[in-house]
Amino acid sequence: MNEQQRTSIEALILVNDLSLSSQKAILTELNSLLTECTQDLYDNRIKFEDAGLCEKLLFQIIFHNETLLSLTNGKLIKIQDKKLKINDLTTVYSIARLQIETFINLSYIFFIDSEYSKEIRAYVYKIQGLRKQIELTKKHPKDFDPIKKMRNELAEELWKIRKLDEFKRVPFSKRKRFINPSLARLIKLYEIYPLIKIGNLSRTHSLYSNHIHSEYISIRQLKSAIDDNSQYESSFSTVILLCSRITSLVITNMVEQYELNNYSFAKAPLKLKKVIESINKLSSELK
């Protein structure tokens, strides 16, 4: 057995260890590598359309990972000279839900192939978001500086999208979908999942959403969090593994899309690269 084979087996054993401590150790290393790869984009002046938006989405994923790694430690609070450890599963699920949404948007705009160009996907995503923000602030005067800034941003994005040949080919009757979109994405979620090769996240997303939006579930959660801490390790481990799956795939897509093979990724330990391979294989096999 050569070193590659031995390391592959070690990585597979590591990924299959579902203990919270093991899963957190994996995500910590993955998040560190993702941070370095994100910095590589800047250090090596790798330019592409809407690189700033890509960087913001990448840092959202990095920050969400760090927050979840911290939250899953639990929190000690003092009540009448006694210390109680609280596990806030509702907040963990809230951030996991945000992580799924950030990952979907990042993949949709920058990584997957679609009938729509990446440029038009990014413009529509930003136009929809800006229009929504402006709508929410309609009671403020139009010359209020933050409103003026958003309106100027919207005007710039509309100017950019109208310059695209892809947009000019669209009949006038159908252009509203691009300049006044009701949705941020031009293709449906069920079409996106097969393209990002991570399995169907809709059930996980729904589970976390239902947990967050049900006040009664949150109340029951709070009581049991105080009474018994041990039951949360499994739930936390599942969330951390989900984030590792997301982070592994983001690293892989970045390295391939922006040709980052010779930078931080090249210096990563062989075992970590094999962990990424194992996690990506796991994700691709999930339905």
The answer to whether 67 and 40 are in contact (CB under 8 A) is no
pLDDT at 120 over 80: yes
pLDDT at 215: 56
Are 249 and 279 part of one and the same domain? yes
Q: Is residue 153 part of a domain?
A: yes
Q: Is 84 in a helix, a strand, or coil?
A: strand
**CA–CA dist 186, 246 (Å, integer):** 22
Question: Which candidate, 143, 146, 176, places its Cα nearest to that of 161?
Answer: 176
Question: 99: pLDDT confidence band, cut at 50, 70 and 90?
Answer: very high
Distance CA 66, CA 27 (A): 9
**pLDDT-based confidence at 204, cuts 50/70/90?**
confident
Confidence of residue 268 (pLDDT cuts 50, 70, 90): very high
Residues 34 and 165 in one domain: no
Asked if residue 194 is part of any domain, the answer here is no
- Nearest-angstrom CA–CA distance, 159 and 164: 9
Q: pLDDT value at position 210?
A: 66
- Of 61-70, 101-110, 232-241, the range with the lowest mean pLDDT is 232-241
| pLDDT bucket at 217, cuts 50 / 70 / 90 | low
Q: Where are the beta strands (DSSP E) in 73-183?
A: 75-79, 82-86
pLDDT at 229 over 70: no
Cβ–Cβ under 8 Å, residues 96 and 243 = yes
96 CB-side CA count, 13 A: 32
* Residue 80 DSSP code: T
Domain containing 135 equals: 120-186
pLDDT at 197: 83
Give the per-residue pLDDT at 51: 94
Average pLDDT over residues 192-212: 77
Q: Are residues 101 and 10 in the same domain?
A: yes
Give the mean model confidence (pLDDT) for residues 193-215. Answer: 73
Look at 121 and 137; give whichever has higher pLDDT: 121
The whole-number average pLDDT for the span 235-264 is: 96
Higher local confidence (pLDDT), 90 or 63: 63
pLDDT of residue 216: 55
For residues 137 and 11, membership in a common domain is answered with no
- Using the 3D structure, point to which of 157, 186, 215 is the last residue of a domain: 186
Contact 184/128 with Cβ under 8 angstroms?
A: yes
Domain shared by 95 and 222, yes or no? yes
How far apart are the C-alpha atoms of 232 and 72, rounded to whole Å? Answer: 9
Confidence of residue 214 (pLDDT cuts 50, 70, 90): low
Q: How far apart are CA 176 and CA 155, in angstroms?
A: 15
Same domain, 109 and 26: yes
210 found inside a domain = yes
Region of poorest pLDDT, from 95-99, 147-151, 198-202, 248-252: 198-202
Q: How far apart are CA 250 and CA 191, in angstroms?
A: 19
pLDDT given at position 154: 96
Q: Is 78 helix (H, G, I), strand (E, B) or coil?
A: strand
Residue 274: is its pLDDT beyond 90? yes
Q: 15 with 154, same domain?
A: no
The upper half-sphere exposure of residue 232, i.e. CA atoms within 13 Å in the direction of its Cβ, equals: 23
Co-location of 140 and 41 in the same domain = no
* 195 within some domain: no
Same domain, residue pair 38 and 172: no
pTM: 0.91
Segment 52-78 shows an average pLDDT of 94
pLDDT reading at 6 higher than 70? yes
Cα–Cα distances in angstroms (integers) from residue 238 to residues 15, 124, 233, in the given order: 12, 33, 9
Instruction: Tell me, yes or no, whether 85 lies in a domain.
Output: yes
Residues 48 and 167 in one domain: no
Geometric angle at alpha carbon 26, from 25 and 31, rounded to 5°:
100
- Confidence class of residue 232 from pLDDT cuts 50, 70 and 90? confident
Clarify whether residues 82 and 149 are in a common domain: no
Overall domain count for the chain: 2
Tell me: the pLDDT tens digits for 136-159? 888 878 778 888 999 999 999 999
Closest residue by Cα to residue 30 from 10, 8, 15, 42 = 15
Mean pLDDT of 9-20: 91
Q: Judge if 156 and 98 occupy the same domain.
A: no
Sign of CA pseudo-dihedral 247, 252, 254, 255:
positive
DSSP E strands in the chain: the ranges are 75-79, 82-86
